[in-house]
């Protein structure tokens, strides 16, 4: 078996046994590097020695791909700040390898691993390693400069360079250099990778197959409390974008061997139902209607069916871009969700998503519809189908 065949087999094993890590590994650029003893990752590409891969078993290549994928997710180059490069590299290697061991990967004999760092963040490991190097006198004098002094020195240098630039400022426009173009391209690639990693995180979180200790690799995914509106707009965006697709792929980075999905903008076509029954007070109703207005302002191309209802449908109108949000708020009776679903079946062609703003106190249909439903409620209640999003700001 050639090393390229081993790589393909290792990718397939990753997708089957560790789907989150396998998904992250799909974006890795694979480069043969004869100067590498085995393999190394810079957060975007995995550089490997083909002679090593020719001799290595598939399990070791699977570990190499997983290692490269998690370095990309970890964003190690972005988090280095003013730390000493070689110590930071060792710290991130330790945290990634510890996480892979925790998830059942076979550890190659040459890999840098120390069980005493299990469960520690890269920043914590860095501090331990640096202290040990200072104690053992293995830190170069230049590297031993404290990070505070490093930051202060960098700030002063930036200030001096800024003053110099002001003095010698030339208003004549200059063409961008190749390095500047590369920097802009790198920023764009970083943003696309960031969005891709966030999407696969949300997908595998819903499926319940995130790897163990992932919170140590990317703590911001777990510590950040997302506002309910942010969740709502991410949910809606998946219907406005026609989702990511690898056919055709994103051509922008294909020449570099980075196979990212392409993204196309499309019409946002959804149904929004607003509960106007007697149990909905003025403040909650105002929150409902305010979000409808915000949705319309956020998307330039939409077709939104707006329905208001209590125990029966009170109002329906299709809103297109540029139209004023004029609606009829009537009702005030009991709450029955069934008439809205019956109305949609009879009057709206091919619905894909229903956003139902309600307090959840009503009669539900017995059967699940053929489209997605997101219930937006001020408190968590059991629903027979669809997903529930809490309107936390109202609580």
Domains of the chain and any CATH numbers: 3-135 (no CATH), 268-394 (3.40.50.410)
What's the pLDDT score for residue 231? 72
Tens of pLDDT, residues 280-337: 888 888 888 888 888 887 777 788 999 999 999 999 999 998 888 877 777 677 889 9
Q: Say if residue 4's pLDDT is above 80.
A: yes
Q: Say if residue 341's pLDDT is above 70.
A: yes
Query: Which residue would you say has higher pLDDT here, 215 or 336?
Result: 336
Describe the crossing of helices 282-298 and 228-240 by its angle, rounded to 10 degrees: 40
Tens of pLDDT, residues 238-260: 776 544 444 455 555 555 555 55
Taken in order 268, 269, 273, 274, the sign of the CA dihedral is positive
Mean pLDDT of the chain: 78
Task: Tell me how far apart the alpha carbons of residues 123 and 74 are, in angstroms, rounded to a whole number.
Answer: 12
Nearest C-alpha neighbor of 290 from the set 354, 376, 200, 370: 376
Buried/exposed code over 356-389 (b: 16+ C-beta within 10 A; e: otherwise): bbbbbebebbeeeeebbbbbbbbeeeebeebeeb
Res. 222 pLDDT band, cuts 50 70 90: low
Res. 101 pLDDT band, cuts 50 70 90: very high
180 token code pair: 């500047």
Task: Tell me how far apart the alpha carbons of residues 351 and 370 are, in angstroms, rounded to a whole number.
Answer: 8
Taken in order 327, 332, 335, 339, the sign of the CA dihedral is negative
Tens of pLDDT, residues 109-149: 888 888 888 888 888 888 888 888 888 777 665 555 544 44
What's the pLDDT score for residue 251? 53
Q: Say if residue 156's pLDDT is above 70.
A: no
Q: Say if residue 186's pLDDT is above 70.
A: no
In terms of Cβ atoms closer than 10 Å to its own Cβ (0-12, 13-18, 19+), residue 239 is: middle
Please, are residues 94 and 123 in contact by the beta-carbon 8 Å criterion? Answer: no
What's the pLDDT score for residue 374? 92
- Of 148-157, 192-201, 270-279, 381-390, the least confident: 148-157
161 token code pair: 């360079």
What's the pLDDT score for residue 173? 45
Q: Say if residue 265's pLDDT is above 80.
A: no
Task: Tell me how far apart the alpha carbons of residues 45 and 42 are, in angstroms, rounded to a whole number.
Answer: 6
Percentage of the chain lying above the pLDDT 70 cut: 73
What's the pLDDT score for residue 263? 46
Tens of pLDDT, residues 45-97: 889 999 999 999 999 999 999 999 998 888 766 667 667 878 888 888 898 99
Q: Say if residue 169's pLDDT is above 50.
A: no
DSSP 363: B
Neighbours of 22 (CB within 10 A): 21
What's the pLDDT score for residue 124? 85
Query: Which residue would you say has higher pLDDT here, 205 or 165?
Result: 205
Please state whether the predicted TM-score (pTM) of the whole model is above 0.75. Answer: no
Res. 36 pLDDT band, cuts 50 70 90: confident
240 token code pair: 């406005």
């Amino acid at each position: 078996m050639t090393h390229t065949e081993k790589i393909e087999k290792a990718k397939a094993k990753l997708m089957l046994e560790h789907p989150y890590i396998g998904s992250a590994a799909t974006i890795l650029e694979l480069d043969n590097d004869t100067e590498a003893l085995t393999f190394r990752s810079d957060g975007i590409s995995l550089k490997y020695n083909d002679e090593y891969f020719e001799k290595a078993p598939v399990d070791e290549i699977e570990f190499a791909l997983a290692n490269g994928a998690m370095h990309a997710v970890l964003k190690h180059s972005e988090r280095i700040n003013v730390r000493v490069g070689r110590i930071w590299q060792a710290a991130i290697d330790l945290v990634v390898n510890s996480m892979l061991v925790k998830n059942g990967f076979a550890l190659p004999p040459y890999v840098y691993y120390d069980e005493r760092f299990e469960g520690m963040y890269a920043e914590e490991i860095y501090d331990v390693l640096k202290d040990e190097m200072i104690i053992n006198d293995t830190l170069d004098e230049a590297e031993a400069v404290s990070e505070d002094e490093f930051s202060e020195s960098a700030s002063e240098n930036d200030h001096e360079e800024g003053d110099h630039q002001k003095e010698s400022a030339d208003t004549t426009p200059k063409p961008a250099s190749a390095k500047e173009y590369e920097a802009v391209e790198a920023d764009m690639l970083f943003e696309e990778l960031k969005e891709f990693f966030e999407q696969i995180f949300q997908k595998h979180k819903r499926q319940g197959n995130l790897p163990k200790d992932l919170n140590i690799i990317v703590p911001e995914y777990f510590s950040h409390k997302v506002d309910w509106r942010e969740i709502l707009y991410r949910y809606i965006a998946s219907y406005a974008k026609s989702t990511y697709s690898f056919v055709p792929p994103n051509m922008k980075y294909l020449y570099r061997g980075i196979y990212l999905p392409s993204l196309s903008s499309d019409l946002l076509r959804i149904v929004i139902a607003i509960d106007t029954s007697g149990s909905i007070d003025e403040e909650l109703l105002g929150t409902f209607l305010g979000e409808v207005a915000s949705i319309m302002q956020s998307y330039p191309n939409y077709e939104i069916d707006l329905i208001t209802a209590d125990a029966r449908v009170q109002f329906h109108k299709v809103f297109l871009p540029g139209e004023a949000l004029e609606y009829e708020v009537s009702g005030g009776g009991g709450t029955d969700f069934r008439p809205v679903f019956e109305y949609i079946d009879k009057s709206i062609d091919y619905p894909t998503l229903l956003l139902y703003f309600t307090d959840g106190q009503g009669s539900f249909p017995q059967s699940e519809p053929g489209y997605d439903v997101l219930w937006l409620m001020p408190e968590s209640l059991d629903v027979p189908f669809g997903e529930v999003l809490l309107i936390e700001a109202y609580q």
